[in-house]
């Protein structure tokens, strides 16, 4: 089988958290283009439904939208039941939902800290654990979590200690699950994107004015586009990456190199 055929995901079943927009939507589209049926999992049901329709129309795969808050164990469990009810199995889980909060450490309330850790780290644990249980029973699967270059560096000038800590946690969680599930044929990897032009930044009035400063620091002089994360996730999802587990893929245009 040639490498391009091997990259195909025909017949596989995937869910993408934070799939309504941004990186999640873009990666979900790529997984669908590669042939996987897709569950768009997001808190924002109307946009998730739009995205699911758009992807089905563009690619011909089966899609569903599932309203889920990844910080709620009961909602995550219900989401898994819904996906299994529609697709019968789960081969690929892209645990990607995340939020950013920019508050100086000395002013951050405990509630703000908890909110970020809950979505970005606890949410990834809950969704990866729930997917892992299904995959262990099935005999295998691939989990891809979204960390960030913020797990590796302290971004400036915006203060974001909870975000940075949550993303560092995602990498070590990813490695821990990969080792625990090595004999179960469940692979677990993560991606660490640099700045990517999505609503997370473009709809954040505090962050938008910083783009020029970040671009001046960036070796490529620009942010990344969500499309520039598609291929790495398709690779990790499928049968080209059977020796790849416990790895973190930094995709940042060399931002963290300098
Ligand atoms: P985005 O804001 O464009 O999209 C995030 C999506 O997640 C939204 O649709 C939102 O409704 C959903 N979401 C938020 N909280 C949720 C919850 N509790 N349960 C379910 N869904 C929830 O953001 P994005 O830029 O596409 O970010 C996706 C992931 O990539 C996040 O984990 C983010 O931290 C990470 N990331 C983003 C960048 C960047 O520069 N944009 C860089 C590195 C990492």
Share of the chain above pLDDT 90, in %: 99
Residue with tokens 């992807």: 55
The two three-digit tokens of residue 243, written as one number: 């020796």
Which one of 17, 20, 22 would you pick to mutate in the ligand 1 pocket, going by the greatest count of ligand atoms within 8 A of its CB? 22
d(CA 127, CA 123): 6
Q: Is the pLDDT of residue 1 over 90?
A: no
DSSP-derived secondary structure letter, 242: T
Q: Which residues line ligand 1 at a C-beta cut-off of 6 Å?
A: 17-18, 20-24, 42-44, 68-71, 96-99, 119, 123, 146, 148, 193, 195-196, 198-201
* pTM reported for the whole predicted model: 0.98
Measure 197 CA to ligand 1 centroid, in angstroms. Answer: 11
Q: Looking at ligand 1, which residue's alpha carbon is closest to its atom 33?
A: 98
Q: Is the pLDDT of residue 87 over 90?
A: yes
Q: Looking at ligand 1, which residue's alpha carbon is closest to its atom 41?
A: 196
Q: Which atom of ligand 1 is nearest to the CA of 120?
A: 32
pLDDT digits (tens, 9 = 90+) for 219-252: 999 999 999 999 999 999 999 999 999 999 999 9
8 A C-beta contact, residue 191 and residue 147: yes
124 Cβ contact partners less than 8 Å away, ≥ 6 residues apart:
70, 95, 145, 146, 170, 173
Measure 22 CA to ligand 1 centroid, in angstroms. Answer: 7
Whole-Å CA distances, 41 to 15, 152, 158, 228: 7, 27, 29, 21
Q: Is the pLDDT of residue 75 over 90?
A: yes
Which one of 15, 17, 18, 30 would you pick to mutate in the ligand 1 pocket, going by the greatest count of ligand atoms within 8 A of its CB? 18
Look at residues 238, 226, 190, 195 and name the one whose alpha carbon lies nearest to residue 27. 226
Burial class (CB in 10 A: 0-12, 13-18, 19+), 153: middle
pLDDT digits (tens, 9 = 90+) for 53-67: 999 999 999 999 999
């Amino acid at each position: 089988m040639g490498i391009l055929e091997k990259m195909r995901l025909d017949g596989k079943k995937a869910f993408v958290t934070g799939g309504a927009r941004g990186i999640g939507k873009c990666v979900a589209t790529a997984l669908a283009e590669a042939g996987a049926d897709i569950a768009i999992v997001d808190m924002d049901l109307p946009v998730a439904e739009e995205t699911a329709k758009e992807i089905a129309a563009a690619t011909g795969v089966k899609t569903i939208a599932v309203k889920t808050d990844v910080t709620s164990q009961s909602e995550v469990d219900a989401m898994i039941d819904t996906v299994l009810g529609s697709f019968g199995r789960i081969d690929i889980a892209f645990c990607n939902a995340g939020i950013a909060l920019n508050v100086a450490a000395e002013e951050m309330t405990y509630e703000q800290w908890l909110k970020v850790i809950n979505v970005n780290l606890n949410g990834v644990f809950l969704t990866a654990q729930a997917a892992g249980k299904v995959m262990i029973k099935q005999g295998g699967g691939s989990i891809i979590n979204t960390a960030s270059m913020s797990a590796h560096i302290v971004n400036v000038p915006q203060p974001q200690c909870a975000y940075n800590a949550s993303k560092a946690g995602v990498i070590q969680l990813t490695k821990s699950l990969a080792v625990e599930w090595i004999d179960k044929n469940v692979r677990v990897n993560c991606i660490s994107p640099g700045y990517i032009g999505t609503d997370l930044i473009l709809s954040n009035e505090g962050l938008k004015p910083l783009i020029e400063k970040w671009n001046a620091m960036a070796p490529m002089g620009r942010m990344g586009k969500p499309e520039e994360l598609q291929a790495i996730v398709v690779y990790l999802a499928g049968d080209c990456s059977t020796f790849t587990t416990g790895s973190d893929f930094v995709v940042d245009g060399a931002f963290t190199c300098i």
